[in-house]
Structure 1
């Protein structure tokens, strides 16, 4: 197995292998993130000025701020954003993640995951479901009503269920979900059902119905699990372990364990291949968007394609190509996962992490399964596809890593 080889030489990979994310609470974001409590708003991807954001993200942040009461309406909130009157920060820089636009404000409920051994934590907002939703830049009474219900009912109900159930072992749920045909990013129906079943005895009927009717519910749990695992593996000098891929719809940024919180960026690409919902066309697609690529950074999602026959066609791939693709993906893997298995059909270790140096050496970039946002706000998801982070970001990151290593006195 790769795990023994790489863990022996890279403490970051050993820390990643040891991470055991537990879902422990659901709390208002402002109770978890000091910057949000002080008035900041979070967004997906690397840093970007509001005037440079793609349309879905601009609208999502403006709507979120209006709901928060920071402005009388979204138009006024957008004026504040463009004037630089609002502290705007990447979610990753605040220790969390958010799907698509990733808009997060203080009152929004967030999933809180804690590592069993180290006590480190990470967070992610709750999944709204499909259709007209904030993360795609939707506005309107139904969007606001759903977010208010999530704040006032869903979040507290989940928190209460976790108090009764105890921490939910996210690694255990993902292991079972992989066995049932999820890849834990674009396909999360099994994980959503498993999470529901674990907490159902303590949930009210409307919350149970919401989770059962939202196959994407578990995506955000997989995201917070992966983010926490990468937090555990971060900041190891000299390590080329990839710890972040994040997209803001204009640029894609990456981070490495050995370079800490420094961003390395390149242009966001359009999904290719892409499977679009009729009548949308390639011209309708927004470039790569969202923090959910953290699932691939961990080693699941597109890197677990062989687990999910249903995920492949949903992103424009043929499942017949999975064996060859998986062989390719394993050439950039940091290690084999010590606990998670893929069924191909015989069980084999899942990939654990991505080695950025191997990406540069081979020219193979880690693929990302993604929902495709319409370039106009409010339309929502128009399909699914595969994207790849920019190669130049990996080259710059490895160059910086090597410079830091060379600067350390012998």
Structure 2
């Protein structure tokens, strides 16, 4: 039995434990987020002006706007962004998440998850696959055509399948996926297969083929599940529960439950360690990028390393380090997960539930993140995987603000 460092019960942690995310639909993002219909564009990480964004994110937003029909070219779209004619906002501030660059526009299909007990919802765009894809800053005709197919075929097909099958229990899928060797962030092959098995009878052949050929398909389902759980746990006065950890390639921002909607940020780091694809070097890496760290905020991903021997080498780690690393991770855990278990070599073990930001600030132990690595130049795409850590100063600033708010409350 692992014992988190904090002793006082936290209602935010109780709400996190009670969250039961169900995948209920796939809809155009604008139908879920009115601000997107009004012309806002979502991006990953904390707030940032378009002129300050990293190259992969700028490219992704530019291409997304051309697909949306709001510009004739990527360059024209970037002029609109830099001039302020197109408003950009963090996905987290719009109630959702997006991997890597996280570009989201109104017509893009998004996964919609709902917690039946509270009625709260969250969203996440669909996964394009790996390699040269928009979220990593790749462009080109094949990227655009895939996104249009996702909008016109994949999204509606998944919506129809869910209507026939009924909602998918995302925690149950993750429970089985962990048993089979996923950590639900960098390795999601088992979650993808489980999702495919559930929905395949209701899907057309091209959609079935796409899902089977995309081992990362479940990543976005794990992301929307974790985001919804954090939505359920947010807004508890005084709570230091970490509810957001997001990267925009320039800065990394966090939020805590007791200061809902307030960002605390610091510089984005390069992945370390990193496992790069052949032909790429450390200087090719873009700094920390994406909203997918919400999976670690929930307690999976890197925080579930011991359950996933195959994820370790893909991010530059030796699985032999898992026992020592897990001991370290448990020191910042908010609680044990009530239902999820890790398939450790010695037998099933409790999964971590949440991260206590106050303990992070007190110990200096930062939550690790398993992440894909984007090339720092646009048009290339993914070049590997690695481990990153959020800036420590974001946690100390958050706790100082939380303490000040508690005193004045």
Regarding TM over 0.5, the answer is: yes
Alignment match, 1:373: 374
Alignment match, 1:118: 118
Alignment match, 1:348: 349
SS at match of 2:69: coil
Q: Cα deviations across residues 319-373 of structure 1 (Å, max 9, x unaligned)? A: 0000010010000000000000002131111000000011011110000000010
Q: Distance in 2 between matches of 1:102 and 1:305?
A: 25
Asked if 1 retains the 8 angstrom alpha-carbon contact of 2:4 and 2:330, the reply is no
Q: Distance in 2 between matches of 1:205 and 1:241?
A: 43
1:403 aligns with 2:392: no
SS at match of 2:280: coil
Alignment match, 1:13: 13
1:52 aligns with 2:52: yes
Asked if 2 retains the 8 angstrom alpha-carbon contact of 1:7 and 1:14, the reply is no
SS at match of 1:352: strand
- How far is 1:116 from its partner? 2.1
Asked if 2 retains the 8 angstrom alpha-carbon contact of 1:7 and 1:13, the reply is no
Asked if 2 retains the 8 angstrom alpha-carbon contact of 1:2 and 1:334, the reply is no
Alignment match, 2:155: 155
- How far is 1:66 from its partner? 0.6
Q: Distance in 2 between matches of 1:360 and 1:275?
A: 29
- How far is 1:8 from its partner? 6.4
Q: How many residues align?
A: 408
Alignment match, 2:228: 228
Asked if 2 retains the 8 angstrom alpha-carbon contact of 1:371 and 1:385, the reply is yes
- The equivalences for 1:135-174 within 5 A come to 135-174=135-174
Q: 1:187 to 1:338 in 2, by over 3 A?
A: same
- How far is 1:3 from its partner? 8.5
SS at match of 1:270: coil
Alignment match, 2:363: 362
Q: Distance in 2 between matches of 1:265 and 1:374?
A: 23
1:333 aligns with 2:333: yes
Alignment match, 2:202: 202
Q: Distance in 1 between matches of 2:315 and 2:131?
A: 18
SS at match of 2:279: coil
- How far is 1:139 from its partner? 1.6
Q: Distance in 2 between matches of 1:8 and 1:209?
A: 49
Q: Distance in 1 between matches of 2:139 and 2:85?
A: 22
Query: Moved runs in structure 1, 4+ residues, more than 3 A?
Result: 1-8
Q: 1:142 to 1:350 in 2, by over 3 A?
A: same
- Consecutive unaligned residues of structure 2, counting only runs of 5 or more, are none
Alignment match, 1:192: 192
Q: Cα deviations across residues 303-327 of structure 1 (Å, max 9, x unaligned)? A: 0000100000100100000001001
Alignment match, 1:286: 286
- The equivalences for 1:36-75 within 5 A come to 36-75=36-75
- How far is 1:2 from its partner? 6.3
Alignment match, 2:237: 237
- How far is 1:5 from its partner? 9.7
Q: Distance in 2 between matches of 1:131 and 1:271?
A: 18
- How far is 1:4 from its partner? 10
- How far is 1:50 from its partner? 0.4
Q: Distance in 2 between matches of 1:169 and 1:203?
A: 18
SS at match of 2:158: helix
Alignment match, 1:392: 393
Alignment match, 1:128: 128
Asked if 2 retains the 8 angstrom alpha-carbon contact of 1:23 and 1:112, the reply is yes
Alignment match, 2:106: 106
Q: Distance in 2 between matches of 1:171 and 1:384?
A: 25
